[in-house]
Amino acid sequence: MTTVEQRTGLVGQGVDRVDGPLKVTGAARYPNDFSYPDLAYAALVRSTVAAGRISRLDTAAALASPGVLAVITHQNAPRLERAPDSGLTAPPPPLQDDRITFHGQYVAVVVADSAEEATAAARRVEAEYEPAEPILDMGDPRAEWITDPWGTDSSRGDLKGALASAEVRFEATYTTAANSNSPMGLFSTVAVWDGDDLTIHDSTQWPSYLRKAIAQVFSLPEGNVRVLCPYVGGAFGAGLRAWPHIMLAALAARTVGRPVKLVLTRPEMFTGVGHRTASEQCVKLGATRDGRLVALAHESTTPLQIEGTQFEPCTAGSASAYACPNVITRDRQVRLNIPWCNFMRAPGEAQGNFALESAMDELAYELGMDPLELRLRNYSEDNPRLELPWSSKSLRECYEVGAERFGWSRRSPEPGSMRDGDSLIGYGVAGVSFFWYQEPCEARATLRKDGTAVVRSAVTDIGTGTYTVMTQLSAECLGLDMAHVTFELGDSDLPAGAAAGGSGLTAAVGSAVQAACRNLVRAFLDTVRDDPTSPLQGCTIDEVSVGGGRIHRIDAPESGEAYADILAAHGIGELSADGSSTPNDPKVAGMAPSGAFAARFVEVRVDPDLGLMQVARVVSVVDAGRILNEKTATSQIMGGTVGGIGMAMLEEIVTDPGTGRVANATFGDYLIPVNADIPDMEVAFVGRPDRFNSVGVKGVGEIGLVGIGAAIANAVHHATGRRVRSLPITIEQLF
Amino acid sequence: MADDMTGGVPVATVARVGVTLTVNGADYRLDLDSRVTLLDALRDRLGMTGTKKGCDQGACGACTVMVDGKRVLSCLTLAAQCEGKDVTTIEGLAADGVLHAMQEAFVRHDAFQCGYCTSGQIMSAVCLLAEGRAGSDDAIRQFMSGNLCRCGAYGNIVAAIREVRDAGGHDA
Ligand code: FES
Ligand code: FES
């Protein structure tokens, strides 16, 4: 059977999203769109201190409020088990004791006949606290420090010696603010019990894990729990944990014996579903006069909530970004009384890349060298950390194509030297070497007697385009029209799916889908193996190809048989096959798994008189391996870029230093980019299919955000001569 | 409105209101808690979940619907205020299963990702053209800035609106 790589068919084409018509008509159903007869509504009560104990809870008034069915607190909640870890620790089950570790922790859930009644009654729950002095500052001597939390720290060569003897040295500290995922879809759970069976509609990115988590919390067999999430209103990482509110919805439904809907409020989204941590990073660089890096040290400290883990390696990427013989990277975390830290689009990389790529720009100025040239001079042909060849790398081409399209050669090196009328113009560049993370995944492909196929996996499409690209891939692997293939996802009863996270989903589910389709073709060949009337009798998988709804012989394409005819001839209703994928091992494969690479070019315009700062243009050139759908992949990069502009210029969770309360937990106060903030963006893809997974993809969901912060900071410096080492960069910092 | 006292805390009994909502051309008679917003009436009482709740605070535009031809935030509008007014939601835009030009353009230009903001974006975009405010890309960007899209589909949203404008499709 010919491999997908050799085909020039459906895959790659920028076809419209298959779920597009549902989304533009309002017919796509998100978790909070589901309703049930006799549905009750839940509202949450959150703590108003960041540390201490609940000393008194009075629920009488709430209970007496109109329509109220139940008020659950730690005083009457049943014991719940802890969810299993997913690689990250799960948040502890809610309402199990009186301890408070952050401002906004749930202390009660109120269930009522209507949402209005639940909300009104929740305000009547009276809570008093015995507060403790919260730890809110990384400099607080009481704070617990964790060094090398994930074993990702690295060291090679002799950093100290190399730094001491370097011809040019540079050192600076960079900070980034805490950011909120803030997907537009309010995270919601609808919980429905039927005896000991529980159905959950939820805004999750990982139904297979969430099912396991809920089952364990409620001590149920996993098979009793079904998690549904055919559409999720964005998540950007927030849907990767089994959050306490999910358990509260299920608990509320069991308590009142009715289905319960719990929709988080926008302010609750800031404390209840994680956030990107702030960071404080130090970068030290040593180089020769002609711009060869001889030393690179990158150290980062990030806050962490009081209990549980978070994987946020800010410095790990720096170990393999450049060819440099003497390198140290170190991450540390400090426990604070803050809401849960969690993944947010490009965790760690977003912060780490800002520090490293800003420092490279600063070094370029010290050397009097073009920042682009400095990057090319230190290009890592092999993965310098694993000392293995990359599975694919076209970063050089990203720089070249990007520079050409952007017009980098028009840049005059002197800061403040480019103007257009009253505006100072700045050009900035940043390089990105992204990592990715793949998990095991399963899929099942089924061909039905009418010749149509359905392919299934319990994954999610959080806007990334999984429905569409997996339909394309399945159609191509089976030789069917896209219109004859349906891809089903978002249901934990389907074959176990990987998380939509770590930019690894497309590789994981794509490889599983490919395997399932190939096995399905094998199953058809098995069916006709002994059929003397079939032109495919005795054919092996390597002797056939697919197309036009049929399997045919490669050596005689006219000799073949349609799937539907085979099923009919053998009296079979439908035929299914399973496929699975597991990540490759770098040592066995003899190559270092490449994530996507990118070069980001940004033009900013600053009007010093009016105090205006605007990103005017962004050119992104990305090596993401094989692109399954040019249209949706471009959208991913553009969307990530918008997130990057937010991180660079707008977004900052402000925590009240006295109380630990998130002080700007609304869209009126926590600013995210609006349409008018976003300039023209150009996206181009370069490179070849990656060799590390059979589909050849590298993931495009996160890299779009990375590098924008540094490119903007570098452009701002070029425009104004001001070096801003903290994100977000606001106009007040410039003048 | 009477207050009854429980444990020293006043508990409000909430007035109910009868209201007839005209949504996408059909009349619906509802008996509602007076606090119910147009958004919740559409979603929870009428089961029209195409209109989305992104903040419930008037700050995101996800809940945008058309009331008497104008775009309004349904989360900031009480259902009881809409008696006698004509409400159009995303469900009422396609006629006989044929997508509105704006809906079609949104699909073609990939002007959404997760799709959660999309109903609001499309309702806003349709009104924008009717308002005659889509003269330039800058104008589109400015006058669509009340509709947040966290997935960052802004560039494609502008492209879709531009295309419908250029095709002269400004009738809702
Ligand atoms: S839900 Fe109405 S503006 Fe956000
Ligand atoms: S498409 Fe996801 S918020 Fe706009």
Q: pLDDT value at position A361?
A: 98
User: Which atom of ligand 1 has the smallest separation from the CA of B52?
Assistant: 1
H-assigned helices in chain B: 38-40, 101-108, 118-131, 137-143, 154-166
In this structure, the residues whose C-beta lies within 6 A of any atom of ligand 2 are A 184, 234, 463; B 112-118, 149-151, 153
Residue in chain B lying closest to A637 (CA):
B152
- Distance from the first to the final alpha carbon of chain B: 42
Average pLDDT of the residues in A234-262: 98
Residues in chain B: 172
Distance of alpha carbon B43 from alpha carbon B25, whole angstroms: 17
Chain-wide mean pLDDT for chain B? 92
Across the interface, which of A120, A233, A632 has its CB nearest the CB of B114? A233
| Interface contact A132, partner B, CB < 8 A | no
Interface check A21 vs B, CB under 8 A: yes
Predicted pLDDT at B10? 52
pLDDT at residue A1, as a whole number: 43
**Residues of A with active-site annotation:** 702
Q: Which residues of chain B have a CB within 8 Å of the CB of A17? A: 107, 110
Q: How far is CA A254 from the centre of its chain?
A: 32
Residues A375 and A467 in one domain: no
Q: What angle do CA A672, A678, A679 make, to 5 degrees?
A: 165
**Residue A584 reports pLDDT greater than 90:** no
Which residues does a 6 A CB cutoff place in the pocket of ligand 1?
B 53-56, 58-63, 73, 75
- Which of A247, A273, A299 is the last residue before a domain boundary? A273
B14 C-alpha to center of ligand 1: Å?
A: 24
Q: Which atom of ligand 2 is closest in space to residue A234's alpha carbon?
A: 2
How far apart are the two ends of chain A, measured CA to CA in Å?
Answer: 64
Tell me how many degrees the CA angle A220-A223-A229 measures, rounded to the nearest 5. Answer: 105
Q: Mean pLDDT over residues A129-158, rounded?
A: 97
Last residue of a domain, one of A273, A291, A318: A273
Mean pLDDT of B35-49: 97
User: Which chain A residues are closer than 8 Å to B146 by Cβ?
Assistant: 674
Chain B residues inside the 8 Å CB shell of A59: none
Whether the per-residue pLDDT at A12 is higher than 60: the answer is yes
Percent helix, strand and coil across chain B, each to the nearest 5 = 35, 25, 40
Contact A54, A128 (CB under 8 A): yes
Nearest CA-CA distance, residue A61 and chain B, Å = 6
Closest to A339 (Cα-Cα) out of A98, A492, A136, A574: A136
Q: Are residues A467 and A503 in the same domain?
A: yes
In this complex, the residue of B33, B107, B138 whose CB is nearest that of residue A21 is B107
pLDDT in tens, B125-155: 999 999 999 999 999 999 999 999 999 999 9
Chain B interface test: which of A15, A16, A17, A23 (most B C-beta within 10 Å): A23
Whether A5 shows a pLDDT value over 70: the answer reads no
CB proximity A556 to B under 8 Å: no
SS percent in chain A: helix, strand, coil, step 5: 30, 25, 45
Q: What is the pLDDT, as a whole number, of residue A546?
A: 97
Q: Are residues A712 and A651 in the same domain?
A: yes
Q: Are residues A500 and A596 in the same domain?
A: no
Q: Closest approach of chain A CAs to the CA of B84, in angstroms?
A: 24
Does some domain include residue A168? no
**In this structure, are residues A705 and A639 in contact, taking their beta carbons and an 8 Å threshold?**
no
Kind plus residue range of the DSSP H or E element containing A252:
helix A244-256
Which pLDDT score is estimated for B7?
44
B54 part of contact set with chain A, CB < 8 Å = yes
* A404-420 residue pLDDT tens: 999 999 999 999 999 99
Q: Which of A7, A118, A95, A105 lies closest to A50, judged by CA?
A: A105
Is residue A87 predicted with pLDDT exceeding 90? no
Give the E-state strand segments of A203-244 in sequence order.
225-228
Q: Tell me how crowded residue B50 is: count the other CB atoms within 10 A of its CB.
A: 25
Tell me if A146 is assigned to some domain. no
If you search the block for the tokens 């805490």, which residue do you land on?
A178
Mean pLDDT of chain A: 96
Report whether A46 contacts A107 (CB < 8 A): yes
A174 domain-assigned: no
Distance A639 CA to ligand 2 centre (A): 9
Q: How many folded domains does chain A comprise? A: 3
The verdict on A666 and A598 lying in the same domain is yes
**How high is the pLDDT of residue A339?**
98
Domain assignment present for residue A33? The answer is: no
Last residue of one domain, picked from the residues A257, A273, A289: A273
Report CB contact under 8 Å: B113, A642. no
Whether residues A226 and A280 share a domain: the answer is no
Section B34-52 average pLDDT: 97
CB contact under 8 A, B154 and A635: no
Mark whether A524 and A629 lie in a shared domain: no
CA distance A500 to chain B (A): 13
Is residue A27 in some structural domain?
Answer: no
Which pLDDT score, from 0 to 100, does residue B12 have?
60
* pLDDT bracket for residue A368 (50, 70, 90): very high
Phi, psi of B21 (to 5 degrees): -100, 135
Q: Do B54 and A33 touch (CB under 8 A)?
A: no
Query: Residue A159 C-alpha to ligand 2 middle, in angstroms?
Result: 45
Å between B131 CA and nearest CA of chain A: 18
Residue A195 lies in a domain: yes
pLDDT of res. B170? 53
Strands A225-228 and A197-202: parallel
* Burial class of residue A289 (count of CB atoms within 10 Å of its CB; 0-12, 13-18, 19+): exposed
Option in B40, B113, B155 nearest A681 (CB): B155
Q: Do B40 and A115 touch (CB under 8 A)?
A: yes
Query: pLDDT by residue (tens digit) across A298-337?
Result: 999 999 999 999 999 999 999 999 999 999 999 999 999 9
Predicted local confidence at residue A545, as pLDDT: 97
Q: Which domains does chain B have, with CATH numbers?
A: 10-92 (3.10.20.30), 101-166 (1.10.150.120)
- Residues A254, A294, single domain; the answer is no
pLDDT in tens, A589-639: 999 999 999 999 999 999 999 999 999 999 999 999 999 999 999 999 999
Residue A537 sits in a domain of what CATH number?
3.30.365.10
Using a CB-CB distance cutoff of 8 angstroms, which residues of chain B are in contact with residue A460? Answer: none
Report yes or no: B66 at the A interface, CB cutoff 8 Å.
no
Q: Which of A441, A43, A38 is nearest to A206 (CA)?
A: A441
Answer yes or no: are the C-beta atoms of A184 and A232 closer than 8 Å.
Answer: no
Is B97 touching A (CB cutoff 8 A)?
Answer: no
CA atoms of B87 and A473, how far apart (whole Å)? 42
Query: How many CB atoms are located within 10 Å of the residue A728 CB?
Result: 20
Q: Are residues A561 and A594 in the same domain?
A: no
Instruction: Give the residue, by CA position, lying nearest to ligand 2 atom 4.
Output: B149
A493, A560: one domain: yes
- Flag whether pLDDT at A2 surpasses 50: no
pLDDT of residue B171: 42
3-state secondary structure of A629: strand
**pLDDT band for position B95 (cuts 50, 70, 90):** confident
Give, for ligand 2, the residue of A17, A182, A184 to mutate: max count of ligand atoms closer than 8 Å to Cβ: A184
What tokens does A302 get?
A: 């990030």
Tens of pLDDT along A196-213? 999 999 999 999 999 999
Q: What is the pLDDT of residue B169?
A: 66
Work out the pLDDT band at B11, boundaries 50, 70, 90.
low
Does the CB of A580 have a partner CB in chain B at under 8 Å?
no
In a domain, A500, yes or no: yes
Residue A251 and residue A333 in one domain: no
Is B150 close to A27, i.e. CB distance below 8 A? no
Give me the residues of B, 6-45, that contact A with CB < 8 A: 6-9, 11-14, 33, 35-36, 40, 43-44
Q: Can you tell me the mean pLDDT for A36-60?
A: 98
B contact residues 141-160, partner A, Cβ 8 Å cutoff: 141-142, 144-158
Distance (angstroms) between ligand 2 centre and the Cα of B111 equals 9
Q: Is A164 among the domain residues?
A: no
> What pLDDT shows up at residue B124?
98
Do the Cβ atoms of A150 and A311 come closer than 8 Å?
A: yes
- Mean pLDDT confidence for A515-539: 97
Does the pTM surpass 0.90? The reply is yes
Q: How far apart are CA B147 and CA A677, in angstroms?
A: 12
Which structural domain, as residue segments, surrounds residue A351? 276-437+589-734
* CA gap A222, A224 in Å, rounded: 5
A557 and A454 in a common domain: yes
Q: Tell me what pLDDT residue A504 has.
A: 85
| Residues A213-238 pLDDT 10s | 999 999 999 999 999 999 999 999 99
Rg (CA), chain B: 18
For ligand 1, pick from B75, B77, B119 the residue to mutate: most ligand atoms within 8 Å of CB: B75
